[in-house]
A and B are shown apart, each in its own frame.
Chain A
Amino acid sequence: DMKVTQMPRYLIKRMGENVLLECGQDMSHETMYWYRQDPGLGLQLIYISYDVDSNSEGDIPKGYRVSRKKREHFSLILDSAKTNQTSVYFCASSFRDRGGAEQFFGPGTRLTVL
């Protein structure tokens, strides 16, 4: 069953707390992505990972970091969360050579920072 999973689905944190968002995929995709989606805006790329320990900044990496220790898992970390990081976060994955044409998306994590 090909899918991308995200945990948790909903999260409420206070400003200054640390946040860990988890993503998993069972398709052996080399490349994984973290996006955020805000009202009225298209998805924005935070980080991209080409494989284990091979991560690159996306368009809005400030305030975020990532970890990829296993091909099937990709974590997004917010150290000392800020209220403007309230958003819906999506993880996606793809094969390296099919990249942008065939990304599979998780269901999203709705993060609220109070």
Chain B
Amino acid sequence: KTQVEQSPQSLVVRQGENCVLQCNYSVTPDNHLRWFKQDTGKGLVSLTVLVHENDKTSNGRYSATLDKDAKHSTLHITATLLDDTATYICVVGDRGSALGRLHFGAGTQLIVIP
């Protein structure tokens, strides 16, 4: 059973527009949540990590929130650029050590058009 669900599955926006990606999960315990960006044919690159209840993070045009009670996270991308075209993957860790496991969502494919 999939423990990390992402929506939408895919999204097309025009350059300059904002977008919001959603992540719902059922992983327990939920130690932390990380958003990755995966360019086509490349590996995963970390964007931000959220650890605490009601955490909010900001990394340039990327910002994220975490609601541990609802087991829900959002990733906001502001003023999208063509280079933002990629798959964004939500990952939930069930422990803060190498003994824990990462639970991966299937990703949201974002396409930014001119």
CB within 8 Å: A-B pair count: 73
CA distance A110 to B45 in the complex (A): 18
Q: How large is the interface on B (under 10, 10 to 19, 20 to 34, 35 or more residues)?
A: 20 to 34
Interface size on A, residues (CB 8 A): 27
User: Taking the nearest CB of chain A, how far is it from the CB of B54, in angstroms?
Assistant: 18
Q: In chain B, what residue has the closest Cβ to A100? A: B93
Are B103 and A99 interface neighbours, CB within 8 A? no
The dominant DSSP class at the B interface is loop
Is A94 among interface residues, defined by CB-CB distance under 8 A?
Answer: yes
Within 8 A of A (CB), among B16-37: 31-32, 34, 36
Going nearest first, the 6 A-B pairs with the smallest beta carbon separation are: A42-B104, A99-B98, A100-B93, A105-B43, A31-B98, A43-B104
Interface residues, chain A, CB within 8 Å of chain B?
4, 30-31, 40-45, 48, 50, 90, 94-103, 105-108, 110
